[in-house]
């Protein structure tokens, strides 16, 4: 008996499917054998290519699967507040598990310490200090009255764009993937078991409440509806269209929480869910455009490719596998937000609550107080193709709400945090050449900076914010942040030739000098009479009820990233400045029980777990002591980031914590928020290749690099000696070869005054 005949007989005996004729089976078998031979050939080719690749000493290539180095659990424990689930870069949909809200550490809807799920929601935040979203949640159940399910992390697997969980009750394998505007579910129930789904339009993360919600069963397999809620985002509207691969029947519930029973469980149940902030019709259109077929595995593959395309914008070479995982996880986390907030047809819900149509990608989840420091500068470096639309987003928000964004969430201005961070980011985009209509952007910045709100009326009257006259406290932090934004406006005004505006906003950018107390060396609250507030304790902090935002006087002494040399002048000499700066990293004191939990990741009083500290170490370059920065940067990189669920020293803050790691590990950091100067630090990777747009490549090498060889000895750029301890964005944008020669002892590199930033 021939091989094919024997296979046919075996197939016929054990198969439970409909019988087929031998002739039909013969050709089917032949096709499979040919297919198998082709697959074996491909496997052999890939194996040979892999061996050749390894023998060349390379660590990554553009076609390499970089997602294998991502550990999505980093930051899901501790105070990281990181989203876990399935999404694609900068997607509107973040589809993943949602747990019961049990406190501050559940802001993303998930914390590693928990083992109970209430649903799989389609929107989540990542790394925020306030919770919201969790919209349109599905939960598989074994009975109609089940409210939640228990799970174990040992049965959970997550890779970029793909989430898998095996539940015990119900006995079902949950698989999730996503596109930009749609989620895709696959549920494999135990055969013959009862199978129910809960569709929860009431449930969010726990910080919002539903104002209105409704669903409509349009057919046996299609359910559409909306959820209108109020929380951190005051007017959140999400519309959905869910399509099941088999008929479903409602057996319980109402418009907010309904229970649906499946007809059978003899094959996996697929559910496609499209979202829109505009309408049900747009949700349907988004679903049709992004998941037209029932190809779940194909969607997973597409999501993985999307992540590889973006992760491949930076290829690193290193023998340290832990740092490789931390790096690519950080790069992965940096692209959860900003999130796309326009539909496939260009429609989006504006900051005025109205529907607009644009010829650009509109973005939301703009945590700008956090991200203006590193996350947005990183985007300008490796995602330049998105920056034109980012600038359009900002100017459109200005047109719709009368001011530039501060903390924008699903089209809503939350006014969260202090200062005018949207001005800072837009100024940076203008100065880097990403904004076509510079005059329009300037007018938006100027108008936003003159509004009599959030203490600005007091600032315009007194030249600072008197601490006893502002009922919302935090006057030092507000004033310093306003000064940073005003510096950005002044630079754009100078670029455009607006001399009077330049002088006005430059003078306002010097506000920090009024808060500086030369007697103590700290920034202090000022009364309307111009006297420093007393009593004064530089360590003590009361969350939201003192002069600082999520910090104390030690951390806020340095919040002058736009004018470091001006701050040095305040101290009277470089010697006094550096003495105070040295002491920051060794002093300890009692911050008090009412201090913000965000003040974390401490080295002395340097708080790496929160954003106002992130530029401070690089200040050593400004006074010609870059070796001190190298010591502290290496310490921070190696102690504040871990390959572990409790792997972040503070909130991820929508990509900022990760972006600091990415840039610093490469040896670069933009200290001055609007202007484009990148200061050198201490690179930890042997080589990094960055795709910086327009087909250009920036290669950064650290020759002789090691744990002890952490000090820059000399630098070349495009083969020529380079003596400065900083480099302009425009030079990086053009690509080239930046080579650091590293050594185990401090050198005189970057110490001359003409070589300092």
According to the model, what pLDDT value does residue 274 have? Answer: 98
Measured CA to CA, the distance from residue 93 to residue 292 in angstroms comes to 17
Write out the two tokens for 319.
């023998």
Average pLDDT over residues 211-236: 97
Per-residue model confidence (pLDDT) at position 106 = 97
Predicted confidence (pLDDT) at residue 6 exceeds the cutoff of 70 = no
When pLDDT is cut at 50, 70 and 90, the band that residue 14 belongs to is very low
Between CA 694 and CA 1 the distance in angstroms is 62
Mean local confidence (pLDDT), 521-543: 96
Mean pLDDT (whole number) for 570-587: 98
Contact 547, 475 (CB under 8 A): yes
Residue 3: which pLDDT band, with cuts at 50, 70 and 90?
very low
Confidence of residue 26 (pLDDT cuts 50, 70, 90): very low
Buried b (16+ CB within 10 A) or exposed e, 200-237: bbebbbbbbebeebebebeeeebbbbbbebebbbeebb
Q: Which long-range contacts (CB under 8 A, 24 or more apart) does 732-736 make?
A: 732/381, 732/668, 732/678, 732/692, 732/698, 733/381, 733/384, 733/432, 733/692, 733/693, 733/696, 734/696, 735/692, 735/696, 735/697, 735/698, 736/698, 736/699
Residue 31 is predicted with a pLDDT of: 38
Per-residue model confidence as pLDDT tens digits over 74-98? 999 999 999 999 999 999 999 999 9
pLDDT-derived band at 204, boundaries 50, 70, 90: confident
Q: What is the pLDDT of residues 163-177, one digit of tens each?
A: 999 999 999 999 999
- What's the CA gap between 700 and 702, in Å, rounded? 7
Q: Containing H/E element for 441?
A: helix 438-449
Between helix 375-382 and helix 387-401 the angle, nearest 10°, is 130
**Residues sharing a CB contact under 8 Å with residue 229, sequence separation 6 or more, in sequence order:** 135, 204, 208, 209, 210, 211, 213, 236
pLDDT 10s digits, 390-404: 999 999 999 999 999
Angle, helices 321-333/656-666, rounded to nearest 10 degrees: 130
Tokens of residue 561, six digits: 């990233």
Q: Could you tell me if 584 and 512 are in contact, meaning their C-beta atoms sit under 8 angstroms apart?
A: no
CA-CA-CA-CA torsion for 625, 627, 632, 637, nearest 10 degrees? 130
The 10s digit of each residue's pLDDT in 108-135 is 999 999 999 999 999 999 999 999 999 9
- Integer CA distances (angstroms), 399 to 142, 356, 486, in order: 50, 12, 20
In this prediction, residue 206 carries a pLDDT of 82
Mean pLDDT of 493-518: 98
Residue-level pLDDT at 471: 87
Note the pLDDT tens digit of each residue in 272-290.
999 999 999 999 999 999 9
Query: Minimal CA–CA distance to 258: which of 204, 215, 206?
Result: 215
| 3-state secondary structure (DSSP) of residue 421 | helix
Confidence of residue 192 (pLDDT cuts 50, 70, 90): confident
pLDDT recorded at residue 34: 35
Structure tokens at 683: 């690179």
Residue 544's pLDDT band (cuts 50, 70, 90): confident
Q: Does residue 180 contact residue 87 with C-beta atoms inside 8 Å?
A: no
Mean pLDDT of the chain: 92
Helix/strand/coil for 492: helix
- C-alpha 550/C-alpha 600 separation (Å) is 10
pLDDT of residue 408: 98
d(CA 108, CA 87): 14
Of 684, 685, 700, which Cα lies nearest the Cα of 732?
700
How does 140-162 read in b/e, with b if 16+ C-beta sit within 10 Å? Answer: bbbeeeeeebebeeeebebbbbb
Q: Looking at residue 265, what is its pLDDT?
A: 83
pLDDT band of residue 526 (cuts 50, 70, 90) is: very high
- Mean pLDDT along residues 431-436: 98
Beta bridge partners of 742: 712
Give pLDDT, residue 19: 36
Region 634-643: what's the mean pLDDT? Answer: 98
What is the mean pLDDT of the segment spanning 147-159? 97
Q: Per-residue pLDDT tens for 403-418?
A: 999 999 999 999 999 9
Which of 201-210, 468-477, 686-695 is predicted with the least confidence, judged by mean pLDDT? 201-210
Residue 44, pLDDT > 50, answer: no
pLDDT band (50, 70, 90) for residue 64: confident
d(CA 378, CA 610): 18
Report d(CA 7, CA 406) in Å as an integer.
67
Has residue 27 got a pLDDT over 90?
no
pLDDT at 203: 84
Please report, for residues 183, 323, 531, the alpha-carbon distance to residue 284 in angstroms, rounded to integers and kept in the order given.
Answer: 12, 42, 61
pTM: 0.91
Which residue, among 633, 554, 649, 639, has the nearest Cα to 601 in the 3D structure?
649
pLDDT reading at 745 higher than 50: yes
pLDDT at residue 154, as a whole number: 97
- Mean per-residue pLDDT for 8-36? 36
Q: Is 498 helix (H, G, I), strand (E, B) or coil?
A: coil
């Amino acid at each position: 008996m021939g091989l094919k005949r024997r296979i046919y007989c075996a197939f016929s005996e054990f198969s439970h499917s409909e019988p087929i004729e031998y002739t039909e089976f013969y050709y089917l078998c032949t096709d499979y054998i040919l297919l198998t031979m082709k697959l074996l050939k491909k496997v052999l080719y890939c194996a040979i290519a892999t061996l050749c690749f390894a023998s060349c000493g390379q660590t990554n290539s553009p076609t390499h699967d970089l997602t294998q180095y991502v550990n999505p659990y980093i930051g899901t424990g501790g105070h990281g507040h990181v989203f876990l689930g399935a999404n694609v870069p900068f997607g509107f949909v973040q589809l993943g598990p949602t747990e019961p809200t049990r406190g501050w550490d559940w802001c993303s809807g998930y914390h590693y310490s928990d083992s109970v799920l209430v649903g799989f929601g389609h929107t989540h935040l990542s790394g925020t200090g306030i919770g919201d979203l969790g919209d349109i949640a599905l939960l598989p159940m074994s009975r109609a009255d089940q409210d939640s399910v228990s799970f174990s992390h040992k049965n959970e697997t997550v890779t970029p764009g793909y989430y898998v969980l095996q539940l015990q009750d119900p006995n079902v394998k949950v698989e999730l993937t996503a596109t930009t505007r749609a989620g895709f579910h696959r549920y494999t129930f135990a055969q013959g078991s009862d199978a129910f789904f809960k569709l929860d339009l009431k449930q969010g993360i726990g910080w919002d409440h539903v104002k209105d919600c409704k669903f409509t069963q349009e057919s046996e397999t299609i359910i559409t509806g909306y959820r209108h809620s109020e929380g951190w985002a005051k007017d959140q509207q999400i519309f959905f269209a869910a399509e099941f691969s088999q008929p479903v029947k409602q057996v319980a519930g109402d418009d907010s929480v309904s229970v649906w029973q499946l007809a059978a469980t003899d094959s996996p149940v697929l559910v496609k869910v499209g979202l829109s902030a505009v309408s049900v019709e747009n949700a349907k259109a988004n679903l049709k455009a992004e998941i037209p077929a029932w190809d779940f595995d194909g969607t997973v593959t597409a999501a993985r490719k999307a992540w590889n395309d973006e992760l491949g914008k930076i290829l690193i070479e290193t023998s340290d596998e832990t740092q490789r995982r931390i790096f690519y996880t950080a790069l992965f986390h940096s692209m959860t937000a900003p999130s796309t907030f326009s539909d496939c047809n260009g429609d989006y819900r504006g900051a005025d609550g109205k529907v607009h149509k644009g010829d650009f990608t509109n973005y939301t989840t703009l945590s700008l107080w956090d991200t203006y420091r590193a996350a947005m500068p990183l985007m300008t470096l490796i995602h330049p193709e998105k920056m034109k639309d980012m600038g359009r987003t900002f100017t459109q928000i200005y047109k719709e709400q009368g001011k530039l964004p501060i903390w924008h969430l699903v089209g809503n201005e939350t006014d969260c945090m202090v200062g005018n961070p949207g001005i800072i980011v837009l100024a940076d985009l203008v100065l880097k050449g990403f904004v076509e209509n510079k005059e329009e952007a300037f007018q938006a910045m100027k108008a936003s900076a003159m509004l009599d709100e959030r203490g600005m009326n007091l600032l315009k009257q007194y030249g600072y914010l008197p601490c006893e006259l502002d009922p919302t406290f935090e006057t030092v932090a507000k004033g310093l942040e306003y000064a940073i934004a005003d510096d950005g406006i002044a630079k754009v005004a100078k670029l455009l030739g607006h001399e009077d505006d330049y002088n006005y906003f430059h003078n306002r950018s010097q506000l920090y000098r009024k808060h500086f107390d030369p007697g103590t060396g700290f920034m202090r609250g000022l009364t309307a009479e111009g006297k420093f507030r007393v009593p004064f304790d530089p360590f003590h902090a009361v969350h939201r009820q003192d002069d600082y935002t999520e910090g104390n006087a030690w951390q806020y002494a340095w919040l002058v990233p736009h004018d470091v040399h001006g701050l040095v002048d305040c101290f009277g000499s470089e010697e006094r400045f550096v003495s105070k700066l040295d002491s920051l990293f060794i002093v300890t004191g009692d911050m008090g029980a009412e201090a913000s939990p965000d003040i974390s990741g401490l080295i002395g009083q340097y708080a790496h777990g929160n954003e106002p500290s992130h530029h401070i170490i690089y200040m050593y370059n400004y006074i010609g002591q870059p070796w001190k920065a190298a010591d502290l940067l290496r310490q921070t990189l190696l102690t504040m980031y871990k390959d572990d669920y409790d792997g972040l020293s503070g909130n991820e803050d929508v990509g900022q914590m990760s972006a600091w790691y990415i840039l610093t590990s490469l040896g670069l950091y933009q200290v001055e928020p609007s202007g484009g100067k990148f200061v050198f630090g201490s690179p930890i990777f042997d080589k990094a290749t960055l795709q910086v747009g327009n087909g250009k490549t920036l290669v950064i090498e650290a020759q002789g690099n090691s744990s002890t060889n952490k000090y820059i000895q000399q630098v070349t750029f495009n083969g020529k000696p380079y003596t400065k301890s900083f480099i302009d964005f425009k030079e990086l944008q053009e690509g080239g070869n930046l080579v650091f020669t590293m050594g185990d002892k401090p050198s005189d590199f970057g110490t001359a005054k003409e070589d300092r930033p």
